[in-house]
Every structure is written in C-alpha cells, then in structure tokens.
C-alpha cells in the first residue's frame, strides 16, 4: 500500500490501537458534502485527452508530504546525514515524477532508474567518507519508495557504508523496525509520518502535527522523532501527496491552472469528480474541496485512489477531475 491519504483525527488513535492495520483510511464521515445544484452553475463537462495535468493547490488544502530521510538516531552520523541530504537537494516533484515514469511506464528496475538519476545529477560527487559499517535501508512496498531506497543506497555506498535495501511492507511494519535499529534508514513522507508518530506518542488525544507549511511539519516531526529515537535529514522539495488532475484539453478549454480556477469556473451540474469511495467524506478529498475552495461537483463517481480507473476515466472523458498522486509517472511531461 502507498500511504495513508484520507486522514481524520480518528485514525491517530488507530495507529496506536491497531498497528497491524493498513493505516490507509481514517474514520469515515457520515455525510457527503453537498454535490449540488447548490452551485447553480452549468459546470464543466469532461473532455477526453491522453495528457493529464495537476491543478495547483493554491490555497494549500494538502499538507506537506515532502520526501525526507528518517534515520535511527543511534546509527546517525554527520557523514550519513550529509550523504542522504544530497538526494534531498537533487530531488523535486518533477524529477520524482520522471523517476516514477522510468519504473512504472518505461519498465526499468528501481535500481537502474536510481543509478541513471544519480549519474545525471552527480549525486556522489563530493561525498565525505563516514565511519563505514553495515547499513540497511528499509523501503515500503511500492515502486517509488523502493527507488528512493536505491538512491539512498547509492549515496551511502559512496560515503563508505556497506548497504542493503530491504523492502518491508507498510509503515506499521517498517517504522518499528527503524526505531529498534533493525533497519537504519527509510525514505519517508513528512506530513504522513508526523501524523503516524503523533498517534504512537500521544494516543487517542493526539492532534495532527502536520501542516501545509513545510517548516512547521518538519518541526513537529522532529519533536516526535526525538521521543521515538529517530532523527531526520533535510526534506526535499519533492512531494507525493493527494492532487487533483484534469486532462490537458479540459484545462485548456476551461482556462484552468489552479483549484481556485476549478471552483470558480466549474462548480455545477456538468462537472464530474472521480476518486475512491471514501473521498466525499475525507478532508483532503471532496470534503476539503468544498470547505477550502467552495467547489461543488455535480456528480461523484466512485473509482480508485489515484489508480488506473481514475486516470483512464480522465483520459476517456468520463470524469472532469480526479484524485491522483502528485508524483505519478503518468503526469510526466511530453
């Protein structure tokens, strides 16, 4: 599974009470947002097109799920962190999309894609040698995270470590292993990890420490990490988070670049929003679009969470806008 994308306060307690769960969704809401004719407009009918574009989240509905190295404190050294920070400095969302395209669409292995990226971005230049020794980089069980793990392996090898990359299921499995020191490094996502650790540290009374502001999210994450024996490298500018995409012809026809544009021009009966079944009740999905942007879709179609059903529906012109992941390889330019 990827990451928990539809979070509510109820899921914080679940991180403590049921660590064997998948962590994907929080508590369900009881009412969907108005889907509505309340908008009063005609809306924007779907337009087919092979190229997808993400609408800019200009009012910052989503939190800052930037890629960040998470490190077992006992294994941490200045040289190790400096090597991992080389990856963060080189990585932005556009490059992460291209990495995902190389693996998911061009069918390269994560290791080959990572090596190509490292060479193109001179990742190993100027890396200081550390004290050496064995390092295990843990990775979640989806391709992007495995590729990030391979990037970490490349820079840590250049720093003099003997590195193994081990794919270990979901966060409920690999995070405790990181705390114990069974693995020493994991590529993580700042907002989601902060949310997860808050549940472990503060239980059912925990508040979500993540924020649309990266500095605030990292500050909260750092404080929580100190209580669990974890430290962090620098966050990259690359984000893998909820995003809303439309087909390029749709964006061109209606003059859209931002979610504010979508709300002001496309609220109304002809507009079709697509996403997973829980989207209407989730604060980072349809509920958030209503509350933050006052966007009113005429209809919601139940599809999947950023998967092939949603992307195909956008391309075929059966939905106007759909939930995707911001670093999806399908969003690559060209």
Domains belonging to the chain, first-starting first, are 31-62+241-331 (3.40.190.120), 67-232 (3.10.105)
* Least confident residue range of 228-232, 305-309, 329-333: 329-333
Q: What is the pTM of this model?
A: 0.87
Residue 50 pLDDT greater than 80, yes or no:
yes
Residue 13 pLDDT greater than 80, yes or no:
no
54 within 8 A of 226, measured Cβ to Cβ: no
Residue 5 pLDDT greater than 80, yes or no:
no
Give the SS3 label for residue 152: helix
250 within 8 A of 47, measured Cβ to Cβ: yes
Which tokens go with 281? 């009740």
Residue 79 pLDDT greater than 60, yes or no:
yes
> pLDDT tier at 41 (50, 70, 90 boundaries)?
confident
User: pLDDT of 250-262, one tens digit each?
Assistant: 999 999 999 999 9
Residue 215 neighbours by CB under 8 Å, 6+ apart: none
Using alpha carbons, select from 291, 3, 288 the residue that is nearest to residue 172.
3
Give the burial class of 129: count Cβ atoms within 10 A of its Cβ; 0-12 exposed, 13-18 middle, 19 or more buried: exposed
> pLDDT tier at 34 (50, 70, 90 boundaries)?
low
R_g of the chain computed on alpha carbons? 20
Percent of the chain with pLDDT over 90: 86
Q: What is the helix (H) or strand (E) element at residue 322, kind and residue range?
A: strand 321-325
Using alpha carbons, select from 139, 187, 116, 130 the residue that is nearest to residue 162.
130
Which tokens go with 138? 């843990």
Tell me how far apart the alpha carbons of residues 154 and 157 are, in angstroms, rounded to a whole number: 5
Residue 7 pLDDT greater than 50, yes or no:
no
**3 vs 194: which has the higher pLDDT:** 194
């Amino acid at each position: 599974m990827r990451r928990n994308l539809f979070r509510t306060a109820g899921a914080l307690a679940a991180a403590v009470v049921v660590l064997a769960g998948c962590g994907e969704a929080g508590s369900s809401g009881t009412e969907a947002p108005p889907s509505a004719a309340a908008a009063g407009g005609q809306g924007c009918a779907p337009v087919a097109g092979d190229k997808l574009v993400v609408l800019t989240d200009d009012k910052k509905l989503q939190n800052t799920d930037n890629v960040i190295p998470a490190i077992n404190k006992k294994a941490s050294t200045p040289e190790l962190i400096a090597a991992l920070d080389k990856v963060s400095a080189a990585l932005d969302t556009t490059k992460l999309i291209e990495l995902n395209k190389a693996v998911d669409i061009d069918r390269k292995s994560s290791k080959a894609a990572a090596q190509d990226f490292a060479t193109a971005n001179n990742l190993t230049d100027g890396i200081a040698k550390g004290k050496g020794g064995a390092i295990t980089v843990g990775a979640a069980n989806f391709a992007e995270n495995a590729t990030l793990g391979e990037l970490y392996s490349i820079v840590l090898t250049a720093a003099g470590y003997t590195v193994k990359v081990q794919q270990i299921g979901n966060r409920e499995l690999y995070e405790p292993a990181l705390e114990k020191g069974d693995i020493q490094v994991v590529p993580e996502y700042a907002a989601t990890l902060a949310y997860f650790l808050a549940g472990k540290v503060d239980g059912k009374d925990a508040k979500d420490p993540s924020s649309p502001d990266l500095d605030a999210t990292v500050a909260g994450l750092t404080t929580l990490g100190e209580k669990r024996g974890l430290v962090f490298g620098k966050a990259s500018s690359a984000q893998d988070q909820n995003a809303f995409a439309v087909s390029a012809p749709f964006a061109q026809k209606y003059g859209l670049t931002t979610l504010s544009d979508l709300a002001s021009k496309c609220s109304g009966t002809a507009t079709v929003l697509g996403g997973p079944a829980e989207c209407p009740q989730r604060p980072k999905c349809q509920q958030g679009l209503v509350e933050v942007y006052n966007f009113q879709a005429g209809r919601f179609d139940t599809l999947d969470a950023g998967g092939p059903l949603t992307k195909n529906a956008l391309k075929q012109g059966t939905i106007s806008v759909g939930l995707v992941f911001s670093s999806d390889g399908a969003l690559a330019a060209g």
